[in-house]
Chains A and B, each alone.
Chain A
Amino acid sequence: MTGSRATPTMDAPPLLDIENLAVGFRTGTEDASMPLQGVNLRVPRSSRMSLVGESGSGKSLTAAAVIGMLPEGAEILRGSIRLDGEELLGASKRRLRDLRGPQIAIMFQNPRASLNPVLTVGGQIAEVIRTHSDAGRRDSHLRAIDLLDQMGVPDARRRAGDYVHQYSGGMAQRAALAMALSCQPDLLIADEPTTGLDATLQQQVLELVVEQVTDRGASLLLITHDIAIARQTCERTAVMYAGRVMESGPTASVTSSPANPYTTALLRAFATVDEGRMYAIPGTVPTLLDPLVECPFASRCPEVGEECRDGVPELRTIADREVACVKA
């Protein structure tokens, strides 16, 4: 549809550029915490990037910061988020609202809960279309039906008038995708989009997301805790831990020859799940109450050395990727 997009090259300015993003909670002095400790992440145009990490590593919070919808009590401490060169931090509410839909769209886990139970599915998609264009009621509904059809919802004309409780889990996810893509976003953020779906459906939904995003020339930022999903869907992967990106680069090389010991440990944990045994990374995730003063993985790292305690390692470009480890 938008064939005029430039072909992606690594040198072109990225579509999404997150630099040194730190987010803290100031819910009273007691529980003040700093869950994002300086995130650096770049998503090139027309590419697919996965953001993997354990629960609590800050993946979803990063996404929330990008769409300007941080939870109550959270605030940006420093950093920058640029979308297509435009700084999003400090942008007006109005501007952010205009961006959501036509430029960035997000789909959350649990698609059934993501759709309003008392509005028709088609009506909700049509409203998003009307919000961001001057399409009329009839026109927007026709486009909603068309989108549902493209997402593989059978008998879309009739199904558009149904409510979400009449949809199966897989169909609801297709409808949620239709809604997210309704305004041709440049960037689709999918936050654990297949959690709760069975394996076959998961496969279908992922394939659909990849196909639709690619067809539209858009970029995908897929948030997942499952490295297998990252491998399947995204050419690039960033690994997050303790509110920082530890390593990022082409998925194939990150997952086959990790350069950060944390990535190695995470991959090992996944590999042993497949073998039926569990490998647990020794130690615990640090509690992020204050700014880090050393490598967050230092206390658990098998390769830790003195130099790991001398400040937080920054991402450095090494060969085809970026790594935040002084030993790499």
Chain B
Amino acid sequence: MSEGTIVEQARPLELQAAPGRRGRRLPFSPWHLVLFPTMLIMLVPLLWMLVTSVQTLNETRHFPPVFVPSRVHLENYTQVLRMAPFSRWFLNTLIVTTASVAGNLLFCSLAGYAFARIKFFGREVVFLLVLATLMIPFQVVMIPTFLIVKRLGMIDTLGALIVPNLAGAFGVFLLRQFFRTLPIELEEAARIDGASRIGILFKIVLPLSAPALATLAVVTFMWTWNDFLWPLITIYNEHNMTLQLGLTTFQGAHQTNTNLLMAANVMSMLPVLLLFFAAQRYFIRGIATSGLKG
């Protein structure tokens, strides 16, 4: 696996510009002329969200748009918290996300290690079946998945959001591949010393696997935090909703309150954004090595 160095090391592809066109050179790289406007376009939706979230209702309903609000109306944020069970949605999302991340880290580590290092009966076939589920789009199987969760009595509970997501083929595959790159000599030495498989996994393998575990954690966090379709199908009661579903309800109820909707949106995005800035390299590695957004 290539280590997450995409951000850190760039290799300029073309050589230095050919000489002979001197005199007309800019004091900076001409690429800024392309990249700066691109950056602005990419950031406009996010910046505009921040601006409208602190505007008054009248300012959001003005043409031409008001770029500088009369005052920073932070009370929009507190008003959202009063108007909707927003803190409840936040808590629900946090519970579901934490449980999914923890479940994936534990169960995918155990299974990934078994598939990587232990020769057990049926290993190849089972692994192939696990991989097969990676290829199936969720939309194709959402109806029977709903029926299974219903039969388990978990519809309209957080369990419906947690249990099916406690382990996934993506995590098993990612960790198996990573474990296989570790030097096997350490594990063999520990086995000769009489260590159990579990002991080796937790004392030797996992401490060496921090980058892969972080990648899995970050990807699972983002996927679970942002998931919409599955909660939409399984959750009906407002008090069991996650943020993505809550935002949809909120938008339906307060359609014209753009400023409040934007404040709610900023708050719902904040944890993922913070995680992105804190763990950018793991985000990028998670995407670069697997290709999974959600």
Indicate whether A and B interact. Answer: no
**Residues of B bordering A, CB below 8 Å:** none
